Amino acid sequence: MTRLGLAALACALLALAGCGSTPARKAAKRPEPVDTSLARIEVGDNGREIVMYALGLVDVGYQFGGKNPEAGFDCSGMVSFIYRNAINVELKGSAADMARRGRPVGRSQLQAGDLVFFNTMNRPFSHVGIYIGDDKFIHSPSTNGRIRIESMKSKYFATRYEAARSFFAG
């Protein structure tokens, strides 16, 4: 093959290699978090997004005051992290703070993504989890400290259940 032929082959290979590369993307600007003070988020796919995101955190460790998967989560830190990352909604504060801001919802009206509250420390609203459906919820307990799914019908949680709150439009 002549030098001219080799040069043409090299150019063709370089052009093909360029076709196989992924074009650079601009980073998407994240919208501002939604104010949850009026509990007006549309449930639609948001409940499903919350549950799917939560399920991805199963087995992440417990850490008092924890707010991210690297450090671990406490119950309210887990809820805040999931709502922010799954549907871009800021829920801040303790379990009791969240209970005060959410819209009360009856147990029979629970939807995926609603919050369920328990009295686990002889204090109202001392623990929070995310309802995932079928009388089950996901939470970050300090006992056996890993995010896990529990039944609301289990003896322990059935006797400590206090209320549910929704941050979705009613």
Residues catalogued as catalytic:
75, 127, 139
Contacts of 93 (CB under 8 A, 6+ apart): 76, 101
- Go through 138-156 and write b for each residue having 16 or more CB atoms within 10 A of its CB, e for each that does not: bbbbeeebebbebebeeee
Using CB atoms within 10 Å of the CB of residue 134, give its burial: 0 to 12 exposed, 13 to 18 middle, 19+ buried: exposed
**How far is 166 from 152, CA to CA, in rounded Å?**
17
- Residue whose pair of structure tokens reads 């499903």 in the numeric block: 48
Q: Which of 72, 71, 76 minimizes the C-alpha distance to 146?
A: 72
The SS3 call for residue 9 is helix
Q: What is the largest CA-CA distance in the chain?
A: 87
